[in-house]
Amino acid sequence: MKVRWHLPEPPVLETAVADVEQLQFLLRLVRRVRIRKRTYRWKHSELVVEEDQLYLSVYVEEENSEKA
């Protein structure tokens, strides 16, 4: 399934994941993800259905945003 990673800064990153259920489990377990050498905190995910497309949107925020 296609996964769109919504980072605080553009652009949206797209990846393909074979097991979305496992990805969601891991995100809930660790709550952090490293993308492009930066660490982000997982906020939430949503299933998106648009016309003939189905994908998972994963929203992340800066790791230190809660400390500000």
d(CA 68, CA 11): 24
- What are the tens digits of pLDDT across the range 11-67? 899 999 999 999 999 999 999 999 989 999 999 999 999 999 999 999 999 987 555
**pTM (2 decimals)?**
0.85
Are the beta carbons of 41 and 62 closer than 8 angstroms? Answer: yes
In this structure, is residue 37 part of a structural domain? yes
pLDDT at 68 over 50: no
Domain range for 46: 2-62
Q: Count up the domains in the chain and report the number.
A: 1
In this structure, is residue 43 part of a structural domain? yes
pLDDT recorded at residue 10: 86
3-class secondary structure, 16: strand
Beta pairing, strands 38-50 & 53-62 = antiparallel
d(CA 48, CA 55): 5
pLDDT at 1 over 80: yes
In this structure, is residue 10 part of a structural domain? yes
pLDDT recorded at residue 66: 54
